[in-house]
Amino acid sequence: MRKPSPIIGLIFWSLVSVLTLFPIYWLFVISVKPAVQLFSTPELILSDPYWGNYAKVWGDRLLRSYMLNSVIISTGNAVICTVLGFFACYALSRFNMSGKESIFFWTITNRMAPPAVFLLPLFLLMTQVYTVGEWKLLDTRIGMILVYCTFNLPFAIWTLRPTVDGIPKELDEAAYVDGASSWQVITQIVFPLCRPGLAVTLILTWVFAWNEYLLAATLTNFNARTLTTGLSEYVTTTGTAWGVMATISVFTLIPALIVFGLVQKHIVAGLTFGAVKG
């Protein structure tokens, strides 16, 4: 194969990167503009940044508690989905249970549900059925963690299945011969071998949970509100405070960026949704 010169590659990738980064750059530009300037003629180059929106968002105690809620909910949800998804995949992969392929397909149908209509039954269940005395599941962090499982758990199962299937069964059997218990085989033999797949599952479910809006907006009202719902509080009848909204968006982006950066190198190795096999 002929080798293109590195300069052409560099130019090509710089162009692609500019296209990719532009909307993110624009988000930042909006966040450092005072409200009056928003409606003047747009300019490509940023001049004279205004940090008022950042001061406002950083000083907002409510938004800080939303941030904490977001961190707790998405981390809790990602961990639960990855661990339970791994257990489920191990069961589907190693045991000859009747109807397991149907169960496997059925799990993903939970992710296909159009969310708008499912808000009402979830709301009713969480206010009237899933209660203990005075305590309701609505507007709690654990409630949101469980609700997010409906779309993240199937995703985790589908991403992890090829990884778990790819671990040879002979390894399990050898460990059993050596006298290991089932629990030891699962946690000490198979789990560590699936690390790349687990890392990707963890990060993607985390990002999905972090970014979810519609369910959080309806099923929380104060105690468990997340950062994305904080955004919509600046869309009011008298107009949208775009500058503040963009600033919150930047704040939403930063933790996701950090988490994503941490597992960047595992991503490719573990991304095998469905049935990707070489």
Partner 1 sequence: MQSKRLGWILLAPTLVILFFFGVLPFIYVVYVSFHSWNPFAVNPDMVFNGADNFRKIVFDSAFLNSVGVTVMFVFFAVLSELIIGYFLAQAFMRDFPGKAIFRTIHTLPLIMAPIIVGSVWKLMTTPSIGIIPHYLDEWFGISMNIGTSAPAAFATIVIMDIWHWTPLVTLTLIAALVSLPQDPFEQAQIDGAGKRQIFWHITLPMIAPAVVATVFIRLMDALRTVDEVWMLTGGGPGSATRFVGVHIFKEVFPKTNYGYGSTISVIVLYLTIVSCWLLYVTMLAPRNKKD
Contacting partner 1 within 170-189 (CB under 8 A): 176, 182, 186
- Closest separation in Å from C-beta 65 to partner 1: 19
User: By CB under 8 A, what part of segment 223-242 binds partner 1?
Assistant: 228, 231-232, 242
Q: Decide if residue 264 touches partner 1 (CB under 8 A).
A: yes
| Per CB under 8 A, 27 contacts partner 1 | yes
118 part of the interface to partner 1, by CB under 8 A? yes
Rounded CA-CA distance 145/152 in Å is: 10
Does the CA dihedral 190-191-192-196 come out positive or negative?
positive
Tokens of 93: 């992969």
Q: Which two tokens stand for residue 249?
A: 């968006």
Judged by CB under 8 A, the chain residues 154 through 173 that form the site for partner 1 are 154, 157-158, 165
Nearest approach, Cβ of residue 225 and partner 1 (Å): 14
In which region does residue 239 sit, left (phi positive, over 0), alpha (psi from -120 to 50) or beta (all else)? left
Site for partner 1 in 207-226 (CB under 8 A): 207, 210-214
| Residue list 38-97, contact with partner 1 (CB under 8 A) | 38-39, 41-42, 44, 84-85, 87-88, 90-92, 94-97
| Rounded Cα–Cα distance for residues 231 and 240 (Å) | 10
What minimum distance in Å lies between the beta carbon of 1 and partner 1?
9
Pairing of strands 135-136, 131-132: antiparallel
Phi and psi (nearest 5°) for 50?
-120, 120
Closest CB to partner 1 among residues 23, 192: 23
